[in-house]
Structure 1
Amino acid sequence: MTNPKEVELLGLWVSPFVRRVEWALKLKGIAYGTIEEDILNKSALLLRLNPVHQKVPVFVHGGRVVSESLLILEYIDETWKQSPLLPRDPYDRAMARFWASVAEGKLEPNAWVALCSEGEEKERAIELATEALGHIEGVIKGKAFFGGEGIGYLDLAIGWVSHWLPVWDKVGSMKIFDQAKFPAMAAWASRFVEHPMIKENLPPRDKMVVYFCGKRSRIMASKSHA
């Protein structure tokens, strides 16, 4: 175990990027402290620790600062060897990173655009997000988890699909995560959220709906006044 004061995480309760870091810490049994940030009124601490992107999560370990959630996952995995997240085989490690980059670069940003847009922009974003999800569906087929029999790096990287994407679908009146169309992903999502360590560390769905409804409304209003 680690002294919580040695490990601190600046975050936001509803951020899937923050949650994936927390899941990694929980799975490895690492004690840590949290500092909740207000993204609309960023603290001086956040701006000092992450002056480039000015966003969460920010991970602090013994005075050393790491930003960007996927990089934080790798730092955690390399620093604390118990319950390894990334595969040992170099090719498998490369593939885990590749598919995490697909989810991060293709699925998540397009799902977000679809949530916060209308018309042709929304339709195109849904198409691109669905296409990315289809590629990921092929990776999980026949497996319990992306990491094999247990949760690994790629499960944590894509974990937001299980809990956040259905909320975005609801708020955005869309259907990217069609469980009939993506049965392997649906089965994985169910297993993922039922894992005790994950289940105990998910934000309340009803609270998320309220948050993202407000977020969508603000973005749509800003677009209409642009």
Structure 2
Amino acid sequence: MAEEVKLFGMWASPFSRRVELALKLKGIPYEYIEEDLSNKSPSLLKYNPIHKKVPLLVHKEKPLAESLVILEYLDETWTNNPILPQDPYERAMARFWAKFIDEKLLPTAAKVSHSTGKEQEQGVEEVHQQLKILENELKGKEFFAGQSIGYLDIVAHVLFWFYSAGEASGVQALTTEKFPIISEWIEKLIKIEAVNECRIPKEKHHDLIRLRRESLKSASK
């Protein structure tokens, strides 16, 4: 039943979008609820009183927060169309690389987007080093999961935001010249219908990034 599963998300959140993508790939009916994070709904605050953020999945009135936790829950609860590898070692490695993306790469990228000048240049170089590590993991594969899209591809789907943010800010950390393997992987991803359904509106995202950049410049004056 669609009403059994609710996803509280926000259109520009890559973490919300990765949960949406998993729901679509696994064929799980769900109700999507868009949140205004500057004016959070009573339901979000009720179901997620600790973090008060999205994504938030509610299944049969039981709430779950944190996108990686939600992805594993979906895979264990709905066993059709599995996204995590069946082999224990491969499953552990998929979790390892997911943590690398969320705990290393994304914080570094966030630092770039919230800095200017020399600090930003150093941040971009650090992002390049981390992207190269990730690209080496993808080398020789169709997708991170192997021959078809899986858990780590869903997690790494956040790299779409790198392209969009780079276009809007003029600081492009992820280029085809520097990262041909990741770029080819992205081209394969956008041929998948569910992936395209979960991509954020480009111009809307650009406007949001430009607004944040202007706020950053004003604050640094």
User: Shorter-chain TM-score: which interval?
Assistant: over 0.9
Q: TM-score, normalised by structure 2?
A: 0.95
Q: 1:175 aligns with which of 172, 176, 190?
A: 172
Contact persistence 1:8–1:61 (CA under 8 A): yes
Contact persistence 1:114–1:172 (CA under 8 A): no
SS in 2 for 1:210: helix
Percent of aligned positions with the same letter in both sequences? 43
Q: TM-score, normalised by structure 1?
A: 0.93
SS in 2 for 1:194: coil
SS in 1 for 2:63: strand
Q: Name the structure 1 match of 2:64.
A: 66
Question: What do you get for the CA RMSD once the two structures are aligned?
Answer: 1.3
Question: Unmatched 5+ residue regions in structure 2?
Answer: none
Q: 2:220 aligns with which of 196, 218, 224?
A: 224
Spell out, residue by residue over 1:175-224, the C-alpha distance to the aligned partner (whole angstroms, 9 max, x if none): 21021111111100111122111112212211111122123333443x42
Q: 2:83 aligns with which of 78, 82, 85?
A: 85
Spell out, residue by residue over 1:53-99, the C-alpha distance to the aligned partner (whole angstroms, 9 max, x if none): 11100000001111000110000001000111110111111110111
Q: Name the structure 2 match of 1:202.
A: 199
CA distance in 2, matches of 1:85, 1:128: 30
Contact persistence 1:96–1:154 (CA under 8 A): yes
Question: Unmatched 5+ residue regions in structure 1?
Answer: none
Q: Name the structure 2 match of 1:104.
A: 102
SS in 2 for 1:66: strand
Spell out, residue by residue over 1:82-136, the C-alpha distance to the aligned partner (whole angstroms, 9 max, x if none): 1111101111111101111111111112112211210232122212211111100
SS in 1 for 2:32: strand
SS in 2 for 1:41: coil
Q: 1:185 aligns with which of 164, 182, 186?
A: 182
